[in-house]
Amino acid sequence: MYNFRTLLAGELQRMLKYHILTASVLVAFFWIGALHLLETGDISYFFSLIVFFDVVSMSIVMVGVTIFFEKQEGVLQSIFVSPISKDEFIFAKTTGNLLQNLITILIVYFYTLLFQNININLAGLLGAILLIGLFHSLVGFLIIYYCRDFTELLVNMAAYFLIFTIPIILEFMGVLGTLATNLLYLLPTKASAVLMEGVIGQAQTRELMLSVFYLIIGSLILGYFVRRKFKIFAARESGV
Amino acid sequence: MFTIKNLTYRYPTNKTDTLNGLNFKIQPGEILGLLGPSGVGKSTTQNILIKLLDDYRGEITYRDRPLNDYGSEYYQEIGVGFERPVHFGKLTADENLKFFKKLYTTTADTDQLLKRLGLYQDRHKKVGEYSRGMKVRLNFVRALLNKPEMLFLDEPTAGLDPKNSRIIKDMIQEFKDRGGTILLTTHLMNDVEELCDRVAFMVEGRIVEINTPKNLKLAHGQRKLQVEYSNQDSTSLKEFGLENLGQNQEFLELINNKKIITMHTQEMTMDNIFIEVTGVKDHV
Ligand SMILES: Nc1ncnc2c1ncn2[C@@H]1O[C@H](COP(=O)(O)OP(=O)(O)OP(=O)(O)O)[C@@H](O)[C@H]1O
Ligand SMILES: [Mg+2]
């Protein structure tokens, strides 16, 4: 794991050089703008929604897009003939991604602390970002493994959002029946949403435990496949 | 260094084998040229040897141990020069090299390498702004940055001007002189003749011939002398075998009595040997 530090430092350096950090800050200000316009009393709930959407989408997009560009620039080949392990590579990327998530969310959080009325569990928030971010970063890996070009990457990411987040929005709008609502519990996005409800103290303990369990087990299973398919991916990207 | 026995490989997406039972050795301290028509499997072979492709059939040993026994520590001692650019475009050459150097336990003096290749002044320029030839040179620095003992080079001089190409060839030679081993893939026959101790020709996923450039020439060359001389008002051309030329009366007569214009030995060029060995015909 010695090279993990170097790889992570590289991720952070590139976050700056490729203006990913700038983008994160801009996104944070976009969310702040949205919250500012709301003018409700307690914005905890809206804040939790923002965290949900931001972490789910940015985790997938950032892993997908950075690996895509590394592929295009040919650096993956260079990285794959260095003395690193696939675990170091996967961990470094995921950790970089989680840090990027944290930066956006913490900026928004500090704004709400200073200018708004918010009531959330900070430790819970950090834990939720970690779990939701980890799970969806791994989803990002699997999506990029199976994409041959940028269009395919975009289509697959969009498909994930549509399939997994639209039902959550529908539930939120109250248009789903009981059966559909129960089926939602099969979705990782539902588990993520429950976690965020937990952060603002609106989830039942049993439901919350189940969601935490879902995301941990889910991440382990995804992690298994991300590791297993890594070699095939690396071989394909070494192509001529 | 390497012993390759019956190496067979098929890409998961293909229906036929790309490599059909390769047999060859790479001796420590030699430069082995891997030649063959485009698409024959040279890069595939290299990618197997640098452990990017596994799932091959056959046996490969590196330093007398199966290649599969090596983990990521294998990369500490090999260097790979890729044909296409392999650097972060928005990072400078210096930042790129620093990043990759940190992944290795032993590292070369990359400033020295950059100076030698004429990139030192541009080390703080983003690689994305480099010209094609500059990227090729930077790839060469990347290949050497961990002081490897075994070097894999895929077209290291492709697209370079004669001066830079000369510098890289000199550096390859120096690498060998210090005891390094090289597998060189190239289509440039000049480079092959100049650098390679042995040459392996690949055809249809097999090695069909492997020998020193000199022996190849002996085996394939016709060893003839072509004499052009003036014959009254016109010039004539005559060919003589080099065997016992000094006793060849016709030849002696000719050089004694005629005005010689040119005299050339007809050696087989690597180009011709390539075409003869690989049997490349016109594409249909
Ligand atoms: N990733 C891949 N998936 C499927 N087939 C591949 C892949 N890479 C190469 N091939 C096929 O394997 C064969 C050998 O390709 P390879 O790149 O090894 O040739 P090469 O000898 O290096 O050619 P060149 O001199 O043009 O570089 C080709 O028919 C090619 O289409
Ligand atoms: Mg090739």
Taking only the tens place, the pLDDT of each residue in A31-50 is 999 988 887 778 898 999 99
How many angstroms separate the CA atoms of A28 and B193, rounded? 61
**What's the rounded mean pLDDT across residues B244-263?**
88
User: Contact at 8 Å (CB) between B140 and B165?
Assistant: no
How many angstroms separate the CA atoms of B129 and B120, rounded? 15
The domain tally of chain A equals: 1
Enumerate residues lining ligand 1, CB below 6 A: A 236, 239-240; B 11, 13-14, 18, 36, 38-44
How many angstroms separate the CA atoms of B256 and B237, rounded? 16
Query: Which ligand minimizes its atom distance to the CA of B15?
Result: 1
Q: What is the number of residues in chain A?
A: 240
Q: A122-145 and A205-237 are packed helices; what angle lies between their axes, rounded to 10 degrees? A: 30
The predicted structure's pLDDT at residue A240? 41
DSSP B122: G
- Widest Cα–Cα separation across chain A: 59
- pLDDT at B284 exceeding the cut of 60: no
CATH 3.40.50.300 fits B2-212, yes or no: yes
Q: Residue A172 corresponds to which tokens in the numbers above?
A: 């939120």
Average pLDDT, chain A: 90
Contacts of A73 in chain B (CB under 8 A): 85-89
Q: How open is the CA angle B209-B205-B70, to the nearest 5 degrees?
A: 95
**What's the rounded mean pLDDT across residues B139-168?**
95
Q: How confident is the model at residue B283 (pLDDT cuts 50, 70, 90)?
A: low
How many angstroms separate the CA atoms of B116 and B98, rounded? 18
How many angstroms separate the CA atoms of A166 and A137, rounded? 20
- pLDDT at A1 exceeding the cut of 80: no
The predicted structure's pLDDT at residue B276? 82
State pLDDT tens for residues A70-82: 988 999 999 999 9
Between B160 and B275, where is the model more confident?
A: B160
Write out the residue range of the structural domain in which residue A132 sits.
Answer: 2-238
Other Cβ atoms less than 10 A from the Cβ of B224: the count is 15
How many angstroms separate the CA atoms of B159 and B137, rounded? 10
Determine, for residues B86 and A77 on separate chains, whether the beta-carbon distance falls below 8 Å.
Answer: yes
Q: How confident is the model at residue B269 (pLDDT cuts 50, 70, 90)?
A: confident
The predicted structure's pLDDT at residue B281? 60
Pocket test for ligand 1, best of B10, B43, B46, B203 (most atoms within 8 A of CB): B43
Mutate to test the interface with B, among A1, A78, A86, A145 (most CBs of B within 10 A): A78
For chain A, helix, strand, coil in percent to 5 are 85, 0, 15
Residue type, B247: Q
Chain A residues near any Cβ of chain B (below 8 Å) = 3, 6-7, 9-10, 13-14, 17-18, 70, 73-75, 77-78, 80-85, 231-232, 234-235, 238, 240
Segments making up each domain of chain B, as ranges: 2-212, 222-266
Contacts of B91 in chain A (CB under 8 A): 13-14, 17
State pLDDT tens for residues A113-158: 998 888 898 999 999 999 999 999 999 999 999 888 889 999 999 9
Determine, for residues B75 and A234 on separate chains, whether the beta-carbon distance falls below 8 Å.
Answer: no
Nearest alpha carbon to residue B78 among B146, B174, B138: B146
**What's the rounded mean pLDDT across residues B123-136?**
96
Q: Residue A108 corresponds to which tokens in the numbers above?
A: 């928004």
